[in-house]
Amino acid sequence: MDKLFNSGVLTAERIETVIPPRDLWKTKKNGLVIIECPQRIPCNPCYESCPTGAILPFEDINDTPVVDYTKCIGCGRCVAKCPGLACFVADLTWGAENEALMKLPYEMLPKPEPGDEVVCLDRIGSEVSQGKVINITEPWEDSTMVVHVVVPKDRVMDIRNIKVVKNNAR
Ligand code: SF4
Ligand code: SF4
């Protein structure tokens, strides 16, 4: 049976199915991947880009990804490669007790920079919280950026995008 579902944005009751195992997640340095890919489509760059085999081989190109979380190292390569911007990493071990570090795909301009204060958005673009950019990586040269953002720990399953606001002009 498919773990995920044939709809677009995940609904609240379905979000539970993509949460990493909590005991592993809260101690895993560099974080664990969250994949929100509910539709059967012919696509597998997440699998192809994963260096550890954490995303299991697809039996059919239309399969939705299945993760072996014990193998995920939070590297963010799948975050940058997924054309659907459906992969995210959340590191619950990072920073202060109430903070987490998220690694989010980002393709818009202006390009964020370390130190930027950003607005964190949910799946439908509503504002969730403020966040602070601490790093930007491009694991693949010609691909999507991965923005590392400090966010409130209790909102990691809500935050899925950022809005970059330069000069505090919103
Ligand atoms: S974050 Fe890295 S290790 Fe984890 S699933 Fe993605 S590519 Fe694999
Ligand atoms: S690369 Fe992204 S859209 Fe394609 S199967 Fe993987 S998670 Fe889904």
Tens-digit pLDDT profile for residues 4-42: 444 566 777 678 889 999 999 999 999 999 999 988 999
Note down the domain range covering 151: 12-168
pLDDT for 5:
47
In a domain, 5, yes or no: no
In a domain, 59, yes or no: yes
Beta bridge partners of 147: 104, 136
In a domain, 78, yes or no: yes
In a domain, 84, yes or no: yes
Residue nearest to atom 6 of ligand 1 (CA): 78
In a domain, 7, yes or no: no
Instruction: Tell me how far the alpha carbon of residue 113 lies from the centroid of ligand 1, in angstroms.
Output: 23
pLDDT for 90:
98
Q: CA 149, 54, 78, 37 torsion: positive or negative? A: negative
Quick one: pLDDT band at residue 46, thresholds 50, 70, 90? very high
Rounded to an integer, what distance in angstroms lies between the CA atom of residue 73 and that of residue 28?
Answer: 8
Q: What predicted TM-score, i.e. pTM, was given to this entire model? A: 0.91
**Count of the separate structural domains present in the chain:** 1
Nearest ligand to the CA of 70 is 1
C-alpha separations of 123 from 17, 45, 85, 161 in Å: 16, 21, 11, 7
Q: Which ligand 2 atom is nearest residue 81's CA?
A: 1
